[in-house]
Structure 1
Amino acid sequence: MSSVPERVLSLVEASGLTRREFGQSIGLDESKMSKSLNGARRFSSVDLARVAELCSVTVDWLVTGEETPLAMAARTTGGHAGAALDAAKLYTTLRADIAGFGYPQSWDLPSVDRVAGGYAAHGRALAEAALSHVDKARQTIATDDLIAVVEEVFGVDVAVVELGSGFDGLAASSEHAKIIVLGTSHMPARQRFTLVHELGHLLAEDDQEIHLDRDVYDKDQKKDPSEQRANAFASTFLMPEAPLRDAVGPMGLTEHTFATLACDLMVTPSALAYRLLNLRLIDAGTCDRYKAITTKVAATIAGQGAEFAQLVTRASTPRPPGLLVRDTYAAYESGATTLRPYANLLGTDVDELRDALESEHGTHDA
């Protein structure tokens, strides 16, 4: 497919619509659609934007025919990873189009030069820089909505998608988008660790197009230097050294204070036990004893069962990327694009959404 009309025609054929129906969907009558596909009329920038919206492709692909590694992976990968890639492709496609309408993603990712000590040391240094970034933004990681903090402080789009078991998340990076896709989970601490693990990949600029993590706790992954760095980043970011030393103090930790600390930090007891061991705040025997505690049991010991239930509910709920939702609606409100991208993000019918938005004023008047 060497031309724009050929690429549009391939999308028409894949859609299952007639040329007339496809043209109507993008605002072209049958005559203009026919002339555009035959090369007698050029598709305008607005035409291409509407085609891109309708078919979940980028305007850049329509113009150049170049397919990104993310798009190719989404097309060829199945299972839970494929579902995550499909979501990432949708969001990065929308990001690219919204950027073209004057609403670019404004990410703010601190970087750190390589430090002595290898990948793990670099991950810890990145975490310290990221925590400083959070402090400067007057935010805190001590919140049950860390996703919102990551979006606001770093400008990264974060989505939570139903993926089933066996896949934790991915990080995707392109010219126009930085995005993290997480799977819904009944284990909020694991989802929280995955979120920060993927943020670590973005900050370290690992696998610039896509980085898949089927299991962030997979022991075999630790052989990969980039995984070592991302895990060191997540551990340091979620469990900063100074607060841990203050919590342990000269008297050490009881089972109750350990469980409370795990709940307050919203991490798994296993992750906390290993972090304390690596900091030499507990011995190997204590680590073995504490890491055997489950997150649910820790919440019971700490008397935080209700709080744990709320975390499970939040982690189990799908969530579109907050920043992309904001920018897409702003682009629609300014007249730069149609309502369709916003409706796609919300997963709702565009006509029903339009009716709801337009009838709201009348409801208030009544």
Structure 2
Amino acid sequence: MGDTTFASGALKKAEKYSEYAGERIDKAVGDDAIPAEAAIETINKLLNQAGQLHIPVDLFCVAQKLGIDVKYELMEHGQDGRLQKPEGGRFEAVLNIAQHPHRQRFTLAHELGHYVHQHQDTMMKEAVGGDNRDEISSLGVKPDEIWANRYASALLMPGAAVKSYWKNGMSRSDMAQIFNVSQQAMDLRIASLGLVDLPQQR
């Protein structure tokens, strides 16, 4: 009887942890993890339905399946968002409500990158203080910030889709609109994929 009660309690605890933790992105873990590969796994595991990906990428769906709550608050000028976790609670991606929706989307993707790369193994009882994403984070000076920025770019603008649109002659402005990102983010993604010098169909 005692063993059954213990097993039942352990199962409920495991189920609670599983529900909290959400899906796991294995390719994001480790110092040698490649952001683009982690983003592809995120898309294939969480978003692909029957082999089809809908653009723009639904970041709220990604956050939900990872077990992360998305919240908004008014922050000081120059602050975009943060990732935090109260003790015994779920992770929260907090976004600056005053920022443009494009910047909010990139910030959310960036914070998701921090989570999959650094915090997937954080225990439920632990608390994580949130460092605000700001203009310095956007510059990508620190290794963790560089990783999260590259993950965000690959998640928001999947390489295969960008290459397909570019090959078919779509303009940069139309691509930015389709992916629901800023023109600057779109231009940087096109350049990072080495597409600038490739011919487009007319």
Instruction: Identify, as 1 or 2, the structure richer in strand.
Output: 2
Q: Deviations over 1:246-287 (max 9, x none)?
A: 11116x55xxx211110110111111111111111015xxxx
Specify the alignment match of 1:237 in structure 2.
155
Aligned Cα RMSD in Å? 3.2
Q: Does 1:213 align with 2:127?
A: no
Letter in 1 for 2:131: L
Tell me how far apart the structure 2 counterparts of residues 265 and 220 of structure 1 sit (CA, whole Å): 19
Name the count of aligned residue pairs: 174
**Contact 1:140–1:149, Cα closer than 8 Å, also in 2:** no
Instruction: Structure 1 unaligned segments of length 5 or more: list them.
Output: 1-98, 284-366
| Identity fraction in percent | 26
Specify the alignment match of 1:16 in structure 2.
none
Specify the alignment match of 1:228 in structure 2.
146
The Cα shift of 1:114 comes to: 6.0
Specify the alignment match of 2:80 in structure 1.
168
Q: 1:198 to 1:156 in 2, by over 3 A?
A: same
Q: Does 1:135 align with 2:47?
A: yes
Question: Of the two structures, which has the highest relative contact order with CA contacts closer than 8 Å and spacing of 6 or more?
Answer: 2
Q: Does 1:158 align with 2:70?
A: yes
Tell me how far apart the structure 2 counterparts of residues 226 and 159 of structure 1 sit (CA, whole Å): 22
The Cα shift of 1:142 comes to: 2.7
Q: Does 1:125 align with 2:2?
A: no
Question: Could you tell me which of 74, 93, 101 is aligned with 1:188?
Answer: 101
Instruction: Structure 2 unaligned segments of length 5 or more: list them.
Output: 1-12, 123-127, 198-202
The Cα shift of 1:134 comes to: 2.3
- Structure with greater Cα Rg: 1
Other structure's SS at 1:223 match: coil
Question: Could you tell me which of 267, 273, 276 is aligned with 2:190?
Answer: 276
Other structure's SS at 1:133 match: helix
**Contact 1:114–1:122, Cα closer than 8 Å, also in 2:** no
Q: Deviations over 1:75-120 (max 9, x none)?
A: xxxxxxxxxxxxxxxxxxxxxxxx9xx79635223221668xx76x
Matches within 5 A, 1:207-356: 209-215=128-134, 217-218=135-136, 221-249=139-167, 252-253=169-170, 257-283=171-197
**Contact 2:69–2:91, Cα closer than 8 Å, also in 1:** yes
Question: Could you tell me which of 27, 44, 47 is aligned with 1:112?
Answer: 27
The Cα shift of 1:153 comes to: 2.4
Q: 1:137 to 1:213 in 2, by over 3 A?
A: farther
Instruction: Identify, as 1 or 2, the structure richer in helix.
Output: 1
Instruction: Kindly report structure 1 stretches of 4+ aligned residues shifted beyond 6 Å.
Output: none
Q: 1:280 to 1:141 in 2, by over 3 A?
A: same
Q: Deviations over 1:37-77 (max 9, x none)?
A: xxxxxxxxxxxxxxxxxxxxxxxxxxxxxxxxxxxxxxxxx
Question: Could you tell me which of 113, 123, 136 is aligned with 1:200?
Answer: 113
